[in-house]
Amino acid sequence: MEGEEKKAGGRSSPFWWTIDGFSTIVNRGADTYYSRSFTACGFNWKLRLGLVLEKDGEKYVRLCLSNDDAASKDSEIKAIYKLFIYDQLHGEDIQKEGEDYFHSKSLDGCCFKVALNKFHSSKSGLLVNDRCVFGAQVLHAFAISKSDKEGIHESLSLNKDLTPRIYTWVFKDVSKSNMILKSEAFAAGGYNWRIWLYPNLATCKDALGVFLTMHNAASLASKTSVYVEYSLSLLDLDNAKHRKLTAKNLFSSGSFTWGYPKFLSWKEVQDPSRGFLRNDICIVEATVVVLGVNTIALTRTKRTRCDLS
């Protein structure tokens, strides 16, 4: 067996791996064979060859590109490459393109499988005088650290102080209102908030809608959201059987209002046996806990590119 790197036509050639005595591999069956290490695009590689029996009963020759560096690096190596088997009779390659991430738990890329009977075909030049020629060409390769992997990265910074802010607001003339009722702004977790009430309006027909809105959301960066746990309560002034709903949501400049369009049916709000509406007054309470800040960033990977020219 021998490996070589050649120059041809002004372009970097593949790494070629010639195997004499291919029948030995066929006779031994399950053994795995590795080429010597070769360098391409700043990393070290090997070819791995084996024979496998698939579920269809056919035997296949499997050729893989294996990375020699990934096991010792705290990063992934992304590579775009080609695998070849040279047809010695027709002077051409059969090939497969691959694009893989190599890391400590996966040193091999995708495998190029060719049926063993194709090697023994009289019309094929893959096996001549018990000799085969395999190859690999690494087109581009670059390391990607765990923190710099290309893509969209979301980061949630949680607060240590999770003291809730409880705010109570008295709404007057509720049933007479034909518009949204808004509380004064109140501070919680470093942001300003308001309670919005929809008393049987067209958008919340036959119901009371209750919402929490971030009053200063427009000042947030476009990729920043505030992660909030909140409760909205309509107080029962007679029986203390309050209506309370709790949720967690991300508030941002584009999504600054969360709540319940059908917090309670309008019939239940007006029910005289309940204490939700007295003298056309209702009391709504908001409990707000700012859990943290969520940011989204698009990361571009720094690449060491190997171009064939």
- With tokens 């700043």, the residue in question is 42
Whether 286 contacts 193, CB under 8 Å:
yes
pLDDT at 289: 95
Q: How confident is the model at residue 8 (pLDDT cuts 50, 70, 90)?
A: very low
CB 39 within 8 A of CB 32: no
Q: Over range 40-59, report the average pLDDT.
A: 85
Q: Quick one: pLDDT at residue 151?
A: 57
- CATH topology match: 2-145 vs 156-296: yes
**pLDDT for the residue 303:** 42
Check if CATH label 3.40.50.300 holds for domain 156-296: no
**Domain spans, the chain:** 2-145, 156-296
Question: How does DSSP classify residue 300?
Answer: P
Task: Look up residue 195 and give its amino acid.
Answer: I
Q: Structurally, what CATH architecture does the domain formed by 2-145 represent? A: Sandwich (2.60)
To the nearest whole percent, how much of the chain has pLDDT over 90?
48
Candidate ranges 112-121, 205-214, 219-228; pick with highest mean pLDDT = 205-214
Strands (E) located in the chain: 2-8, 11-20, 32-34, 38-40, 43-53, 59-67, 75-87, 92-102, 108-115, 131-145, 151-158, 165-172, 181-182, 186-188, 191-199, 207-214, 224-234, 243-251, 257-265, 281-299
Residue range 213-258, pLDDT digits in tens = 999 899 888 889 999 999 999 999 898 899 999 999 999 999 999 9
Query: What average pLDDT score do residues 276-300 get?
Result: 86
CB 127 within 8 A of CB 119: yes
**Per-residue pLDDT tens digits for 70-102:** 666 667 888 889 999 999 998 888 999 988 888
- Region 124-148: mean pLDDT is 84
Question: Can you tell me the mean pLDDT for 266-293?
Answer: 94
